[in-house]
Amino acid sequence: MYFIGTDVGTTGTKTIIVDENGKLCGKGYKEYELKAGKGGKVEQDAEDWWSAVVYSVNEAVKNITDKDNIVAMSLSTQGGTTLPVDENFKPLSLAYTWMDARAVKENADIREKYGEKIYNTSGWRCDPSFDPPKMQWMAQNEPDIFNNAAYFVSTVEYVNYKLTGRNVTDPSNAAMRQLINVSTCDWDDMLLEAAGLTRDRLPECLPTGALVGTLTAEAAKELNIPSTVKVYNGAHDQYCASLGSGAVNPGDMLLSTGTTWVILGISEKPLFTKSHIAPGVHPVKGLYGNIASLNSAGSALKFYKGVTGVDFDILDSGAAECMESAENIMFYPYFAGSGFPHHVPDVKACCMGLELMHNKYDLARALMEGVAFETRETLIEFAANGADIKKLKMVGGAAKSDLWSQITCDVTGCELHIPAEKDTCCIGAAILAATSYGYFKSYTDACEKMVHYTKVLKPNADALEFYNKKFNRYHKGYEFLKSFFNEIKE
C-alpha cells in the first residue's frame, strides 16, 4: 500500500511516495518562477503549480510497479497566495503570492478601521499580503479581473480542483488568507466585509483530513496513477511540517528553518498575545498551531554567501573555529526589517563590534548566532504565554548544518530533534493521507511509524553559559538599534 504527499511550495513542488511502513519509495521535484515587479508586485503562474505537480508525481511513482496499490494522497501548500478564476476555474490573472506587497495603502485603511479586531478574529495582524487589502487593491486597480472572477482561491483549492474537480480549502490555509474566524473555522462576515467579498466567491472549507474526492479520469491519466486514488484535504506547509517532524502533542515546538524561520508551538487553546503570535487550527483535532515568523533569518546567510562567494560548507567549517574570536560581534539579521517579536520594519540589518582582526568566518558565525538569538527572543515570548519549552523539532536548511544546529541548541538551551527525512512537508502530507485513509488510528501512531530522527542535540554547558552572556549584550544592542533607526525615520 502506498501514500503520496505533495508539497506545492513557493519556489517549486516536491512529491514523495511512501509505503505503509513509512519507507521512502520515490520522490520528484520541479521548480518554477516568481515574477516580481514594481510597487511590491510578486506573482506566480498557477498553471506552473499544476505542471509541477504532474511532473513531480510522475517522477515519484516511476519505479512503482504495482501502481494499483497507490491508495491516497494529500497536499501541503504555500499559504496566502490568491488567484482569481472564472466559473470553469481558468485563471484570470497571475496569482498574487503571499509576498505581494502592493496593497500597503489598503492595509493601512483596514488597520485604521478595524484595529485589533482583525487579529483577534483571524489570528493574524494586518498586513498587505493578506486577502482583505489585496481584494481592495484589485477592485480599485484591476476592476475587470475583480468583477469577472467567479471565485478567489489559493494554492490548495486550485490543485484540489485540478485533482478532483472540487473547490475545497482547509482551516489552516483559509487562515492564511485572513478571511476565516480561527475559533469557528468559518468564513467571517467582518473579514469578508473588509475584503469586499461574499461567501459564494469562496471555496468550501472542510477539516484537514476530510475526503475531497477521488481523482478525475483526466488527472489520473496525467499523473499516471489510478483514478481510484483518494484525495484527502491537506494543510498549510508549516502545519504539514509539524506532522512530518512528529510535532503532534501539546507543548511540542517546530523550528522550521527556511528563507523565513518559523516557530510553531502546539497548544490546546489558541494563543492570542500582545506580540501577535498567530494561532491556527492544527491537523490534530482539538489542537492549535501557534506561529511566529523571523523575517530574513534563512535568507541572511544566503545573502552573505552571495557577497563573499563562499559555499555554505566552507563557511560552516571556517566559522566552527571562531566562537572566541567572534565573541564581541553582534550581527542583527534584519534584512527585511525586524520581525517577531519586535515588529519594527524600519530597523534594518546591522553589525556591531568589528575589528581589523576579524575575517569572513567570524562574520558568518556572528550571523548564525544572530538568527539563533532571534529564535531565543521568540521562545521567550512563547514561554511568557504559557509554553513549556524544552525540545525543538528542527527542520529545513539550517538543520543540515551541524554548526548552525548546535549554535541554535546552545543559544536556546533546548534539545534539538532533527528528522532523517528533510522533506518534512511531504512526509506530513503523506501522514495526512495514510491516517485519513484509515491505515493508522491517529497522527501520533502514524508519526511513530513514519518519522525518524538522525540526531538529537543537547546544549553544551560551557557554550550555554557563553551564549547567555552574549545574548544579554545582543538584547541591549537591539534597543540601541531601535532608537537609532527611529531617529533616522524622524
Per-residue pLDDT at 87: 96
At 420, list the grid cell. Answer: 532523517
Per-residue pLDDT at 298 exceeds 90:
no
- Does residue 154 sit in the same domain as residue 265? no
% the chain with pLDDT above 90: 85
Q: What is the pLDDT of residues 456-472, one digit of tens each?
A: 999 999 999 999 999 99
Return all residues near 298 (Cβ < 8 A) that are at least 6 apart: 257, 258, 259, 260, 261, 371, 396, 397, 398
Tell me, yes or no, whether 45 and 144 share the same domain.
yes
**3 state SS of 338:** strand
Instruction: Say yes or no: 195 and 253 in one domain.
Output: no
User: Of 107-116, 178-187, 382-391, which range is least confident?
Assistant: 382-391
Verify that 252 and 106 share a domain, yes or no. Answer: no
Taking a C-beta distance cutoff of 8 angstroms, is the pair 377, 369 a contact?
no
Q: 234 and 250: one domain?
A: no
In DSSP terms, which residues pair with 31 in a beta bridge?
12
Q: Which grid coordinates belong to 19?
A: 509505503
Could you tell me whether strands 168-169 and 204-205 are parallel, antiparallel, or unpaired per DSSP bridges? parallel
Range of the domain at 365: 246-490
- Give me the mean pLDDT over the 259-272 stretch: 91
pLDDT above 80 (res 354): yes
- Contact between residue 73 and residue 231 where contact means Cβ atoms under 8 Å apart: yes
- Long-range residue pairs from 467-476, CB within 8 A, at least 24 positions apart, any chain: 467/369, 467/372, 467/410, 467/411, 470/327, 470/369, 470/373, 471/373, 471/376, 471/411, 473/330, 474/330, 474/369, 474/370, 474/373, 475/373, 475/377
- Of 2-6, 19-23, 67-71, 316-320, least confident by mean pLDDT is 19-23
State the pLDDT confidence band at 103, using cuts at 50, 70 and 90: very high
pLDDT at 218: 98
At 22, which helix (H) or strand (E)? none
Q: What is the CATH number of the domain that holds 342?
A: 3.30.420.40
- Nearest to residue 256, comparing CAs of 375, 345, 369? 375
pLDDT of 224: 97
Residue pointed to by grid coordinates 467571517:
188
Residues 6 or more apart from 459 whose CB is under 8 A from it?
Answer: 409, 410, 412, 413, 414, 415
Of 147, 163, 52, 168, whose CA–CA distance to 93 is shortest? Answer: 147
**Neighbouring C-alpha atoms within 13 Å toward the C-beta of 360:** 15
How confident is the model over 5-22, as a mean pLDDT? Answer: 94
How far is it, in rounded angstroms, from Cα 180 to Cα 154?
A: 13
DSSP 376-421: HHHHHHHHHTT----EEEEEEGGGG-HHHHHHHHHHHT-EEEEES-
Amino acid, single-letter form, for residue 56? S
Q: Region 209-223: what's the mean pLDDT?
A: 98
One domain for residues 358 and 394: yes
Whether 339 shows a pLDDT value over 90: the answer reads no
Give the integer Cα–Cα distance in Å for 253 and 277. Answer: 14
Instruction: Give the rounded percent of residues in the chain with a pLDDT score beyond 70.
Output: 100
Q: Are residues 207 and 281 in the same domain?
A: no
Q: What is the mean pLDDT of residues 264-272?
A: 92
C-alpha dist (Å) from residue 124 to 95, 150, 223, 270? 21, 26, 36, 12
Per-residue pLDDT averaged across 426-452, rounded?
95
35 beta partners: 43
Considering the domain architecture, whether residues 234 and 258 belong to the same structural domain is answered as: no
Residue closest to 343 by CA, chosen among 70, 119, 12 = 119
What's the pLDDT score for residue 489? 64
**Whether residue 270 is found in the same domain as residue 190:** no
Chain mean pLDDT for the chain: 94
Read off the pLDDT band of 394 (50, 70, 90).
Answer: very high
**Alpha-helix residue ranges (DSSP H) falling in 62-203:** 104-114, 117-122, 131-141, 143-148, 155-164, 171-175, 189-195
When divided into structural domains, the chain yields a total of 2
Give the pLDDT score at 441. 94
Question: Which residues, 6 or more positions from 442, have their beta carbon under 8 angstroms from its beta carbon?
Answer: 435
d(CA 127, CA 48): 26
Res. 388: pLDDT tops 80: no
Q: What are phi and psi of 360, to 5 degrees?
A: -65, -25
- Per-residue pLDDT of 163-190, as tens digits, reads 999 999 999 999 999 999 998 999 999 9
Cell (9 digits) for 18 = 511512501
Label residue 246 by pLDDT band (50, 70, 90). very high
What's the mean pLDDT in 63-68? 95
DSSP bridge pairs for 151: 85
**Average pLDDT of 61-86?**
96
Q: Are residues 64 and 22 in the same domain?
A: yes
Q: How confident is the model at residue 490 (pLDDT cuts 50, 70, 90)?
A: low
Do 237 and 219 contact (CB within 8 A), yes or no? no
- Quote the cell numbers at residue 254: 517546530
Same domain, 322 and 409: yes
Domain boundary among 208, 239, 270: 239
Which residue matches cell numbers 552574549? 470
| Chosen domain end from 239, 261, 292 | 239
Domain final position from 239, 260, 282: 239
Q: How many CB atoms lie within 10 A of CB 419?
A: 21
- Pair 227, 253 in one domain: no
3-state secondary structure 248-267: CCCCCEEEEECCCEEEEEEE
Rg, the chain, Cα only: 22
